[in-house]
A and B are shown apart, each in its own frame.
Chain A
Amino acid sequence: DQQVKQNSPSLSVQEGRISILNCDYTNSMFDYFLWYKKYPAEGPTFLISISSIKDKNEDGRFTVFLNKSAKHLSLHIVPSQPGDSAVYFCAASELSGGGADGLTFGKGTHLIIQP
C-alpha cells in the first residue's frame, strides 16, 4: 500500500507561470514532509520541508502548503523557470517517533517547463 502518492506522473507548465505539484499521504503518523528535486543521472536535492505544526513554508520561489485534515500537500513554484524542469519527489517521515528510520517517497512528478 503506497503511503505517499503523487498522482500526476508529469506536468507541463509555461515558463513564467506557476507550477503546482501535488502529493497525498495516508499515514496519519507522518509529521514532517519534504520535497526533493532530481535531475537525470544525479542524486535527489533537498528543496523545502514543512512540519505538521505549520500549514505553509516559503523559500524564495518555492512554497509548500500542508492540509493535514485532507492529508494533502502541494509545492508551488512561481515563476517557473527552464531550470526547474526535473522530477520532483514528495517524501514524508515520522519525526515524533524518532524519524531516523528513513523517508517514504512518492513516485515522483516530471515537471516540464515550456519556453
Chain B
Amino acid sequence: DAGITQSPRHKVTETGTPVTLRCHQTENHRYMYWYRQDPGHGLRLIHYSYGVKDTDKGEVSDGYSVSRSKTEDFLLTLESATSSQTSVYFCATSPLAGEQYFGPGTRLTVT
C-alpha cells in the first residue's frame, strides 16, 4: 500500500459552509488526485497535482479548489458546500503516470 490517509473519514456539514478534506501520503509520490464516487457514476476526477504547487482541473472541478504546498499533502476545498457535493471522496497517488493507489475515502454529507 502507498501509505495514504484521508481526514476526516466522515463529515456532516450544512449547505453554504466551507469544507476542507486532507490527503496525506508517506510514499513521496509525485502525482496526487482527488476523485468522487457517486451511485451510477463510478469514480470521477475532480482535480489532480503533478508536483508541489502544480495542479489542474479534472472532469468535475466546478465548486472545488485544491492546494499542494508540500509533496505529502493535497487539500480539497469546497468553498461553499452544496447538497450535490454529498459524496464519497477518494484521494489517490502515483509515483509516475499509470497505476494509482487509493486512500480509504471520506464520506461527506451536506444537509
Shortest beta-carbon distance, B48 to chain A, in Å? 5
Closest chain A residue to B102 by CB distance?
A: A43
Interface size class of B (residues with CB under 8 A): 20 to 34
Closest chain B residue to A99 by CB distance?
A: B97
Closest chain A residue to B6 by CB distance?
A: A43
Shortest beta-carbon distance, A85 to chain B, in Å? 19
Judge whether A42 and B104 touch: CB under 8 Å: yes
Say which residue of A46, A49, A103, A107 sits within 8 Å of B45 (CB atoms): A103
Interchain pairs with CB closer than 8 A, number: 64
Shortest beta-carbon distance, A97 to chain B, in Å? 9
Q: Does B43 contact A (CB under 8 A)?
A: yes
Interface membership of chain B positions 73-111, coded 1 if the CB is closer than 8 angstroms to chain A and 0 otherwise: 000000000000000001010100111111111000000
Closest chain A residue to B39 by CB distance?
A: A107
Closest chain A residue to B54 by CB distance?
A: A100
Interface membership of chain A positions 82-108, coded 1 if the CB is closer than 8 angstroms to chain B and 0 otherwise: 000000010101010011111111111
Contact A46:B101 (CB < 8 A) given known A89-B43, A108-B42? yes
Judge whether A101 and B48 touch: CB under 8 Å: yes
Judge whether A102 and B58 touch: CB under 8 Å: yes
Q: Which of B35, B97, B102 has the most CB of A within 10 A?
A: B97
Judge whether B98 and A43 touch: CB under 8 Å: no
Interface membership of chain B positions 37-64, coded 1 if the CB is closer than 8 angstroms to chain A and 0 otherwise: 0001111110010100000101100000
Contact A107:B40 (CB < 8 A) given known A45-B102, A100-B48? yes
User: In the complex, which residues 26-51 of chain A have their Cβ closer than 8 Å to any Cβ of chain B?
Assistant: 32, 34, 36, 41-46, 49
